[in-house]
Amino acid sequence: MKKIVVLTGSPHHPGTSERLADAFVKGATEAGNEVYRFDAGRRTNEFSMIQLEDNHPGQEIEVEPDDIIKQEVMPKLLDADIVVLVSSLYYYGVNAALKAVIDRFYNYNHELHGGKKAITLVSGYGQEDAFASLKLYFKQLLNYMRWDQVGSVLAADSWNEKKLAQHAQEAYELGKNIH
């Protein structure tokens, strides 16, 4: 059994990235894994953006609010074996709410670096080349965090219901095959 944290960013319900997350969670749960899911896009009123304080020249300290990210998300994330980052394409990048949660990793960098596996689930209405900067962002983030990417689903054509269903099946199978 693996401990899995699924972080989503889209505020759309129902939405295309939500369908990918739902399918993944279903497969991972059926495979006997422990899954925690945080839908940041629909819970933005429960957490703050990263706030930094310059105490000394060249040194930033995060002012960590006592919110849901500190109380619930970070303990689950620190304990996770696998982190699943779920976003739809927003102006060639990641959803703002998901980015806000990722920015909050700052205070936990040392504890989060290394030892985790990662999966990305991405949807959007553009052609695959429109996702280049988002794919690069995730690649650089995962390299920085020293997390091994063990899977991904790119639903570049999520406007097409038939193709979106195929991508949701890919996400389901990805979750189902985690042991």
**93-143 per-position pLDDT tens digit:** 999 999 999 999 998 999 999 899 999 999 998 888 899 999 999 999 999
Residues 36 and 2 sit within 8 Å (Cβ to Cβ): no
For residue 56, the model assigns a pLDDT of: 67
| Predicted confidence (pLDDT) at residue 64 exceeds the cutoff of 70 | yes
Q: For residue 140, count other CB atoms closer than 10 A to its CB.
A: 10
Q: Which amino acid is at 88?
A: S
Residues 8 and 36 sit within 8 Å (Cβ to Cβ): no
Query: Rounded CA gap, 16 and 18, in Å?
Result: 5
Rg (CA), the chain: 16
The mean pLDDT of the chain is: 93
Token pair listed for 33: 């894994």
